[in-house]
Structure 1
Amino acid sequence: MTDSIYSNLKQLGGATVMPQSLDEAELERVQNPQADVLYNVRFTAPEFTSLCPMTGQPDFAHLMIDYVPGEWLVESKSLKLFLGSFRNHGAFHEDCTISIARRLADFLEPKWLRIGGYWYPRGGIPIDVHYQTGPIPEGVWIPDQGVPPYRGRG
């Protein structure tokens, strides 16, 4: 593995500790061996957790991240640890969702990225936050995120 596109990965294949803050979370990427093809990658995080910045109470969301890679792919374990670092992060739903999107877009430089943050109700109101970097590249199949309007999520 020393002479491969994976040789710079530090977290995959070894014991890791959940980062305690966003500053500790390290995203990792690998070269996309299929960079000449337009395709969609989807990550689903149905148990995303952050903290309310006012009360410190936990907030829960179902995140759907779609991206059309360019030269880089995000390494999935590093993404899992990055998302897990929000468990100790206090921010409103909108800020969490957009912060994830912007960090991924800046780090990966994808041809296109979309995130849907489907937040479970607090105070009786669910909040859905959607963001994308621009129009979907022509010729790429992007399935619907499939998360229905709130009627109880699961």
Structure 2
Amino acid sequence: MANSIYGELEQLGKTGGAAQTPEEAILEYVKNPRPDSDYVVRFTCPEFTSLCPVTGQPDFAHLVLDYIPGETLVESKSLKLFFQSFRNHQAFHEDCTVGIGERLVKEMAPKWLRFAGYWYPRGGIPIDVFYQTGAAPEGVWVPEQAVPTYRGRG
């Protein structure tokens, strides 16, 4: 594996848990094997959790990440562990959603990124937060996220 694009990864194939905070979490990236092709990568995390910064109660969200890679791809295990690092993180929905999108854009430098947090109700009101870097490049198929408005999401 040392000669592959995966040779530098520290988390893939190893045991270990998530960082205690998002700031401590390490997102790993690999070289995009198809940098001259525009294609969409989608990750879905239907069981994201964080904590309300006021009450300390858990908040739950269905996250959807769509991006068109530039020179790098985010490694999926590191993304999973990054998401898990929010379990004890206290922040409002908007801060979690936009902060994740901004960090990915800063570190990964995708050609385009769209990130959505479909949050389950807090106080009877679901909150959906969307972050996008601009219009997707022309000619790229970007499927709908297909997460319904709240009706007992599942």
Range of TM-score over shorter length: over 0.9
Aligned counterparts of 1:18 and 1:101: Cα–Cα separation in 2: 19
Paired letter, 2:39: Y
1:35 pairs with 2:35: yes
CA shift at 1:23, angstroms?
2.2
Paired letter, 1:35: P
- The within-5 A match list for 1:90-105 is 90-105=90-105
CA shift at 1:87, angstroms?
0.3
Report what 1:45 is aligned to: 45
Q: Secondary structure at the match of 2:87?
A: helix
Aligned counterparts of 1:18 and 1:6: Cα–Cα separation in 2: 20
Q: Secondary structure at the match of 2:104?
A: helix
Root-mean-square deviation (Å): 0.6
Aligned counterparts of 2:105 and 2:115: Cα–Cα separation in 1: 11
Q: Secondary structure at the match of 2:11?
A: coil
Q: Secondary structure at the match of 2:86?
A: helix
Report what 2:54 is aligned to: 54
Paired letter, 1:146: A
1:150 pairs with 2:150: yes
Report what 1:77 is aligned to: 77
Structure 1, gaps ≥5 residues long? none
Paired letter, 2:57: Q
Runs of 4 or more above 2 Å deviation: none
Instruction: Figure out how many residues of one structure are paired with residues of the other and give that number.
Output: 154
Q: Deviations over 1:53-107 (max 9, x none)?
A: 0011000000000000010000000000000000010000000000000000111
Report what 1:131 is aligned to: 131
Aligned counterparts of 2:7 and 2:107: Cα–Cα separation in 1: 18
Structure 2, gaps ≥5 residues long? none
Report what 1:117 is aligned to: 117
Report what 2:22 is aligned to: 22
Q: Secondary structure at the match of 1:88?
A: coil
Aligned counterparts of 1:34 and 1:16: Cα–Cα separation in 2: 30
Identity %: 68
Q: Secondary structure at the match of 2:120?
A: strand
**Scaled by the length of structure 2, what TM-score is found?**
0.98
